[in-house]
Amino acid sequence: MESTRNKKGFTLVELLIVVIIIAVLAAIAIQHFTNTSQRSREAALRAELKNLRNVVEVFKADMGCYPASFDAFTAVNPPATCISVGGSSTTLPSVPWRGPYISNVGPNPVDGVQPGYTYTNAAGGSLPLGTVTADAGSALDGTDYSHW
């Protein structure tokens, strides 16, 4: 005797195959997105370094010398001294003060350390005068933050 009943629904094997396919796709997607927040913090660090380096160059173009410290970036009134191109401390030239050049030097976006940056204000070191670098740490691509 033949059954005239219609099959409705899915078999257990079909459901298991669908669940396995979803699990494999999820594993691929999760692995791709695990470092997203770290990559965004590193992108913010690169942008902040570029901004700080631009501030140094604008200060130098306006004043004819390098800022003596991070405080000169945010100073409302002109600082008393700056660093000459030769690397010596000198009094700030009597040109109109155009500061502050930046509202504040925020924390390093990757590790949250304040300020989290190093400013080279002496000549003759391993880095040129006026260089802004990030404090030590390694990026996802293996490069050192201080080399960016």
Mean pLDDT of all residues in 121-134? 85
- Residue 21, in any domain of the structure: no
Mean pLDDT of all residues in 121-139? 84
Q: Are 66 and 83 in contact (CB under 8 A)?
A: yes
Place of tokens 């000459």: 84
- Residue 49, in any domain of the structure: yes
- Residue 19, in any domain of the structure: no
pLDDT in the model for residue 53: 93
- Residue 14, in any domain of the structure: no
Residue bearing the bigger pLDDT, 78 or 115: 78
- Residue 27, in any domain of the structure: no
Mean pLDDT score of the chain? 87
Query: What phi and psi values does residue 134 have, to the nearest 5 degrees?
Result: -85, 150
Q: How many domains does the chain have?
A: 1
Query: What phi and psi values does residue 116 have, to the nearest 5 degrees?
Result: 80, 10
pLDDT of 3 strictly over 70: no
Domain extent, residue 94, equals 37-147
- Residue 63, in any domain of the structure: yes
Q: Are 58 and 99 in contact (CB under 8 A)?
A: no
**Considering the entire predicted model, what is its pTM?**
0.75
Q: Are 73 and 101 in contact (CB under 8 A)?
A: yes
Give 17's pLDDT tier (boundaries 50, 70, 90). very high
Residue bearing the bigger pLDDT, 33 or 90: 90
pLDDT in the model for residue 45: 92
